[in-house]
Each structure stands twice: as C-alpha cells, then as structure tokens.
Amino acid sequence: MNWSNKTILLTGGTGSFGKAFTKFVLKKLKPKAIRIFSRDELKQFEMRSEFNNNPTLRFLLGDVRDKARLYRAIDGADIVVHAAALKQVPAAEYNPSEFILTNIIGTQNVADVSIDLNVDKVMMISTDKAVNPVNLYGATKLCAEKLVVQSNSYRGANKKTKLSVSRYGNVVGSRGSVIPLILQQKKTGEISLTDERMTRFWITLEQAIDFVTRSMEDMQGGEIFVPKIPSMKIIDLVNALGPECKVKIIGTRPGEKIHEVLLNEEEVRSALDVGDRYVVLPKHISWEGLDWKKGKNLSEDFIYSSDKNDWWLTIKELLKIVKGQENDEEEKAGN
C-alpha cells in the first residue's frame, strides 16, 4: 500500500491515539495529507503547535454526530481512521444517551458518508470492552463494531469502500488509564485497587498504531483484527509502581470486569490465527472480496481472556515502558 499519495481523515484526532498515530504516520509512512477532525478547538491549537504547524496536517472542527459536517470533512479522503469516541465507563452509565449519539450514531455517520464518497478504506478503533459487554460504554462499542462490519453490505456494486475494525486492550499510559492514576496516587502514599484478582491486556501506543496500520494494509473489508498482546495482574502493576505504598481494596466499580476478553467463545469459531494477530471474519457475508487464504482455525475451547493468556508482561518490562513514557513527557515539556 502506497501511503505517499493518500489523504487520511482521522476522527478524534487530538486524543492520545490520534496524536501518536499522526506522529507515527508522518515519520514512517509520509502521506499526502492528514485531516485532524475533532470538536475541541483548544486541543487542535495545542496539537498544531506540538507539530510545529506541519503543512501536511489539516485541522477540521466538527463532531461525528453532524453528518453534514462529515461530508465536507471526508470529501476527497482516501482513508478514514475512526477513533472518535466517548470512553469513560462511569460517565457512560450516567450519560447513556450521549454515548449512544457519539459512539453508535456517530460511527454510523462515518460509515455512511465514507461509502457515499467512495473512500477506499475505513478502519474503526475498538476496545476489548466491546466483547461480552457489562457496561454501556462496551455495549456502544459492540454496536459500533457491528455497524462497521455490516456496512460492507451497503457499498453497492459500484462502490469500492472497505470497512473493518481494530480491537485491542488497555493502552499503557493513555489519558484516563490506570497507570497515570497509580502514579498520581503514589504521591499520597496510598493506592486504591478495586480487586486483587483483576487482570488486563496491555499494549503500548506505538504497538497499537503499528497494529492498526498493518491491519489497514491487509484488510479486505468486514474483518475484526485483534493483536496478540500480554496480560498483567493489576496488583503486580501497583506493587511495581508504588512498592512503598499502602494498597487499599475498594471493590469493583459498577460495570467493571475482573478480567477482560478480546475474543469470546462465539467469535473463536469464525476467527483465524495469522501469526501476530487474530482475524475475526463475519458470520453473515453478503459482499464480495473477503477471502482470507492464510491463517489457521482456532480450537473451539479457546478463549482469549486476560486471565487465561499465555503471554504475561513482566514487572521489568512494564517499568521499562513506563520509564520510556516518562522520558517522552519530559522531552515534550522541554520543547
């Protein structure tokens, strides 16, 4: 895939993923243009400054809820990366209608407009919380995944648009994630933990972006791509980052899982192991062009959950990742 002649539209472009994706793509793939689409003018101003007014970047204010604005923003784009979403689990429980409007209706708008404008590829960024969801946020992302996959049915004979999903676990150090929270609580001498049994999948931003871009190159339309990534016990994470701190068990929050799942028992039946990733193929295919020749089937008793994973992140590896991110933050502050 030749990225140098591509114009990319990135929804949610000023978020943690968006900024890291932009940095990665500018450095390694060198596209024709990246359109940063988001609704926060201050974050766009800050990002423009952070990237030194790079002429490859275009900053477009707008909301994925606004279909008319999406038509203007996406027109002429070759690729759409849909990362815009409301994500905080407690906020979703208190503001369900807002999450539905952004995460479900907004995703449908992105898919519809991309098909209408004959965009080459659309990749939605999803989460492990969409699998067997127990909270509203996860339920909205599950609906969004279904919308994107089945939108391939509506592209018609004369449309070339391919739409797929990238689903992965917790991003180490991303805004609102557990690691910045632990580092903040560490200053008080006490770190709160919901449950000592809790495990999570982990992926760095750089790994997530590499995974997404490679999946975009391989996508045929309708797949859900899932990376092979390590797990870690949250109690080990707490002890590694704050060994001198007291740990306070506060109990699980509403809508919180003890363990996360990236592939459930139903998806396993239609998933392929393609080496460094799993590819979930849709069960109901009414479009042409989806024909994976490589990969092997998974055993029916396989479940890809954070507690049953065969790859675990060591404390040494975690501390190295956290240290690298702290150095990045210091470098940004110095600039």
Closest CA to 270 of 261, 281, 285: 281
- Give me the mean pLDDT over the 184-196 stretch: 90
Asked if residue 325 belongs to a domain, the reply is: no
Band the pLDDT of 319: cuts 50, 70, 90.
Answer: confident
What is the DSSP-derived secondary structure letter of residue 252? P
Q: pLDDT at position 255, please?
A: 80
pLDDT per residue as tens digits for the range 73-117: 999 999 999 999 999 988 999 999 999 999 999 999 999 999 999
Whether residue 5 is predicted with pLDDT greater than 70 in this model: the reply is yes
Asked if residue 254 belongs to a domain, the reply is: no
Q: pLDDT at position 314, please?
A: 87
Q: Which of 19, 87, 129, 228 is catalytic?
A: 129
Band the pLDDT of 126: cuts 50, 70, 90.
Answer: very high
In which region does residue 176 sit, left (phi positive, over 0), alpha (psi from -120 to 50) or beta (all else)?
A: left
Band the pLDDT of 312: cuts 50, 70, 90.
Answer: very high
CATH code for position 111: 3.40.50.720
Whether residue 175 is predicted with pLDDT greater than 70 in this model: the reply is no
Q: pLDDT at position 254, please?
A: 78
Asked if residue 317 belongs to a domain, the reply is: no
pLDDT per residue as tens digits for the range 198-243: 999 999 889 999 999 999 999 999 999 999 999 999 998 898 888 8
Quote the CA–CA distance of 64 and 89 in Å, as a whole number.
20
DSSP-assigned letters across all residues of 299-318: PTT--EETTS-S-B--HHHH
Q: pLDDT at position 258, please?
A: 93
Q: pLDDT at position 241, please?
A: 86
Q: pLDDT at position 132, please?
A: 94
pLDDT per residue as tens digits for the range 157-173: 778 999 999 999 888 76
Quote the CA–CA distance of 187 and 33 in Å, as a whole number.
42
Asked if residue 186 belongs to a domain, the reply is: no
Asked if residue 270 belongs to a domain, the reply is: yes
Give the domain extent around 100. Answer: 3-170+204-228+261-306
Identify which has the larger pLDDT, 53 or 157: 53
Band the pLDDT of 328: cuts 50, 70, 90.
Answer: low
- Give me the mean pLDDT over the 165-183 stretch: 81
Asked if residue 24 belongs to a domain, the reply is: yes
Phi and psi torsions of 126, nearest 5°: -120, -170
Its pTM stands at 0.93
Closest CA to 110 of 140, 151, 138: 151
Asked if residue 48 belongs to a domain, the reply is: yes
In total, how many domains does the chain have?
1
Asked if residue 234 belongs to a domain, the reply is: no
Q: pLDDT at position 3, please?
A: 96
Is 129 a catalytic site residue?
yes
